[in-house]
Structure 1
Amino acid sequence: MRPAIILSALLAAASAAHAATPLQPSQLGLVINDDEPNSVELGEYYRAARGIPEANIVHVRIPNKPRKLGAEQFARLKAEIDEKLGPQVQAVLMVWTAPYAVECNGITAAYTLGFDPTQCANTCAPGKQTAYFNSDTGLPWTERRMRLSMLLPTESVEEGKALIDRGKAAGFRVPAAGAYYLVTSEQARNSRAEFFPKSGAIPQRKLTIHTLREDVLEGKRDVMIYQTGKAKVDKLETLQFLPGALADHLTSLGGDLLGNGQMSSLRWLEAGATASYGTVSEPCNFWQKFPSPAVLLRHYLGGASAIEAYWRSVAWPAQGVFIGEPLAAPYKR
């Protein structure tokens, strides 16, 4: 995608994006950690809310909620999950917050693409581009032997159920919405700003794009997309995120979900977003290691689900972790 995408090109791309039905409940595997009560409760809630077939549900045991797994431990977990999934399953939702890393890899990247030990030799080195980046692949497992994956956080059962409800509500009607892109004073975190679309309206989707030179967004009540570059994003409590909203910040350790350093991507979900993304190890500020704004918007407006749009938007996702409700699709056809 070229810098400063103009609206007519973006809309044409969205209209031309993969027009098939977005990911369906019958194509989603649900992985529950029986050693975590919140995972069991939220897994059942999600199964009922989305009508996930019993054949797609996998039970595993991961004691003590480790934040990071070793490569061998993860390989055993992945093999256990994979052997229980049928060929119809195109994506997987892991119902837990932790573990969220496999050494330096995000657990969702390690599951979908395989663990990448070379990235851990130098986490600031360029990554490997996934064939799914900006693609119109409709059946990633069938066509590319990739099962997309996402985490459904379980730190709070109440917040987890609210997240599931927001995802399910997305798509019942198309709201008047805003997509907000902030060029901030933190220059090192503006590496993807050249890919922000220009401000203006996309009336066919009832969406208005706002590309701003601001450090913070405050008081907006129509947020469908919010992408920025900050170590900590303030004023989230003043915003109203619409069902299906996607939000993320370019910073080093947003994917360190339970860490005490930079802002965790969990804060976006707690504020009302439906899905987010962050990196679990120092990636340096390659834009390719973060969601590309125009690519994400193209696929989401084209009708893709949250998990499909987010996965298509990250060129080098090895260090990243995708979190939220995967089936949200506010612009589905």
Structure 2
Amino acid sequence: MMSARESLKRIRQLSVLLAIILFSAASSVEAQTRISLPHTGFMPEDIAVIVNDDDPLSRQIGSYYQQARRIPENNIIHLRFSSERSAMTPKEFQQLKATIDQLTPDHVQAYAVAWTSPYRVGCMSLTSALALGFDKKYCSKACAPTTLSPYFNAQSQYPAIDYKLRPAMMLAGTSFEHVKALIDRGIASDHSFPNGQAYLLSTSDKARNNRAMSYAQTAKDLSGVFPLQILETNLISDHQDVLFYFTGMIEVPMLETLGFLPGALADHLTSFGGMLTDSSQMSSLRWLEAGATASYGTVVEPCSYPQKFPSPAVAMFHYALGATAIEAYWKSVAWPGQGVFIGEPLAKPFAPLLREINPGRYELTIFSPRTGQMRIEKSLSAAGPFKLHSRQQSIHRGKNLIHFRFNEKTDGYLKLQWN
């Protein structure tokens, strides 16, 4: 009997075969359907969008996101509840969660939440409660460790299957214009391989600077992958190449002077950044308004445990593998119960890109956080068996351009694999 993961892969393979049948005329489109690339991150069919029909802004956001990302209609989940508050009670949430679970298609791996409030459930963030279920072990007592997420730094691409967990991210903003711009940035980032900088700030705020102790190792681990600057300062300004920005401050000044590239991840370690609409500190929404594509903040007092905040090294590593923003960010937080994830979930700036540059000649762009090898295998049948088509090619850290020839009449089907 097939496992759930095998069944999902088989469905995707059948989708490719159907595409081949539908595009039976010889064309670039047909040729590319005969070339199989590794799955590196979520696709639109993997995301369910949760909409609050009692909130006009939520309806507007959900509708735009569905159209912009071509989310299947069956993946849209409609709820009705009061949104005029920052938090809901665990009892209220459990009732909504039962409806969400009932309406979620089995193949869905993650949620996009089409509202900004409420962002909290009791002592947990809304996104973590949706992913993990409301459970006090994920928020524990004040100033104490919480339960480890099984998704932390995981290699899994199917969290709903492997861990019974669906990560969630909020399409958050104070207006439709803000959220539309966020969504558009996420889409613009896809396969763009932005040539941006990672800024890791070691600040004078000792209580909020505890991620800085890992920066040197991060720079070593990601050498040759991203240009990375470790700066002993409380702010940066006037940089137009910001791809990652990690810091620790109550407020982060001069964001309006920065140029965030599409797909940028940015956050500040502080107690209440995840209180999106009513924080006494800088709300994490300010990052999105400044041009970042995803961010994170805690909704209740976390007491400065670095495990409750994103690990820059882990987030950047998984992003470089071609994961989406929701996957990379979620995998970077060991104890996510008190933190809310906001942004455009499907942004994937480093997902591989295949294009035909001349008839029968293809260029594959791969981004990698490590060295490895790529194999090209071919078969006359989509079902295989596949055999080595050409010698293995070396993959280096960072951006790789690989050229190869393919004739669908003689080569049949190609499978590209790398590690």
Normalized against structure 1, the TM-score is what? 0.91
1:232 aligns to what? 251
Shift of 1:117: 2.0
2:124 aligns to what? 105
Shift of 1:173: 2.2
Corresponding residue SS for 2:161: helix
Shift of 1:120: 5.1
1:241 aligns to what? 260
Residue 183 (1) aligns with residue 183 (2):
no
Residue 43 (1) aligns with residue 62 (2):
yes
1:75-224 paired onto structure 2 within 5 Å = 75-118=94-137, 122-196=141-215, 197-198=218-219, 203=224, 205=225, 207-224=226-243
Question: Greater shift after overlay, 220-229 or 117-126?
Answer: 117-126
CA–CA distance in structure 2, aligned partners of residues 159 and 121 of structure 1: 34
Counterpart residue identity of residue 91, structure 1: A
1:322 aligns to what? 341
Residue 298 (1) aligns with residue 301 (2):
no
> Measured at CA, do residues 280 and 53 of structure 1 come closer, stay the same or move farther in structure 2, by a change above 3 Å?
same
Counterpart residue identity of residue 40, structure 1: R
CA–CA distance in structure 2, aligned partners of residues 154 and 232 of structure 1: 18
| 1:115-150 deviation digits (Å, cap 9, x = unpaired) | 122455512110111111011111000111101101
CA–CA distance in structure 2, aligned partners of residues 121 and 160 of structure 1: 32
Give the conservation status (yes or no) of the 8 Å contact 1:176–1:222.
yes
CA–CA distance in structure 1, aligned partners of residues 106 and 120 of structure 2: 26
> Measured at CA, do residues 127 and 120 of structure 1 come closer, stay the same or move farther in structure 2, by a change above 3 Å?
closer
Residue in structure 1 matching 2:295, options 262, 271, 276: 276
Q: What count of residue pairs does the alignment treat as equivalent?
A: 313
Residue 259 (1) aligns with residue 278 (2):
yes
Counterpart residue identity of residue 59, structure 1: H
Residue 69 (1) aligns with residue 103 (2):
no
Structure exhibiting the larger radius of gyration computed from Cα positions: 2
Give the conservation status (yes or no) of the 8 Å contact 2:203–2:209.
yes
Corresponding residue SS for 1:21: coil
Give the conservation status (yes or no) of the 8 Å contact 1:248–1:278.
yes
CA–CA distance in structure 2, aligned partners of residues 61 and 172 of structure 1: 36
Shift of 1:172: 3.8
* 4+ aligned runs moved over 4 Å, structure 1: 118-121, 199-203
CA–CA distance in structure 2, aligned partners of residues 184 and 263 of structure 1: 16
Give the conservation status (yes or no) of the 8 Å contact 1:103–1:120.
no
Give the percent of matched residue pairs that are identical in Structure 1 and Structure 2.
Answer: 49
| 1:165-213 deviation digits (Å, cap 9, x = unpaired) | 000011242121100000000011111112222389855x5x3101110
Residue 332 (1) aligns with residue 351 (2):
yes
Corresponding residue SS for 1:79: helix
> Measured at CA, do residues 143 and 64 of structure 1 come closer, stay the same or move farther in structure 2, by a change above 3 Å?
closer
2:415 aligns to what? none
Counterpart residue identity of residue 48, structure 1: Q
2:355 aligns to what? none
Corresponding residue SS for 2:297: strand
Counterpart residue identity of residue 311, structure 2: S
Give the conservation status (yes or no) of the 8 Å contact 1:182–1:211.
yes
Counterpart residue identity of residue 36, structure 1: D
CA–CA distance in structure 1, aligned partners of residues 289 and 123 of structure 2: 25
Give the conservation status (yes or no) of the 8 Å contact 1:199–1:211.
no
Shift of 1:218: 0.7
Counterpart residue identity of residue 124, structure 2: N
Counterpart residue identity of residue 277, structure 1: Y
Give the conservation status (yes or no) of the 8 Å contact 2:222–2:317.
no
Residue 287 (1) aligns with residue 306 (2):
yes
CA–CA distance in structure 2, aligned partners of residues 113 and 244 of structure 1: 26
Question: Greater shift after overlay, 154-163 or 268-277?
Answer: 154-163
Counterpart residue identity of residue 185, structure 1: S
Give the conservation status (yes or no) of the 8 Å contact 2:138–2:335.
no
2:394 aligns to what? none
Corresponding residue SS for 2:210: coil
Give the conservation status (yes or no) of the 8 Å contact 1:68–1:100.
yes
Normalized against structure 2, the TM-score is what? 0.73
Relative CO higher for 1 or 2, CA cutoff 8 Å, sep ≥ 6? Answer: 1
Corresponding residue SS for 2:227: strand
| 1:30-85 deviation digits (Å, cap 9, x = unpaired) | 01111111111111110011000001001101224321011110001111111001
Residue in structure 1 matching 2:76, options 57, 60, 66: 57
Question: Greater shift after overlay, 150-159 or 22-31?
Answer: 150-159
> Measured at CA, do residues 164 and 300 of structure 1 come closer, stay the same or move farther in structure 2, by a change above 3 Å?
same
2:44 aligns to what? 25
> Measured at CA, do residues 119 and 93 of structure 1 come closer, stay the same or move farther in structure 2, by a change above 3 Å?
closer
Shift of 1:321: 0.4
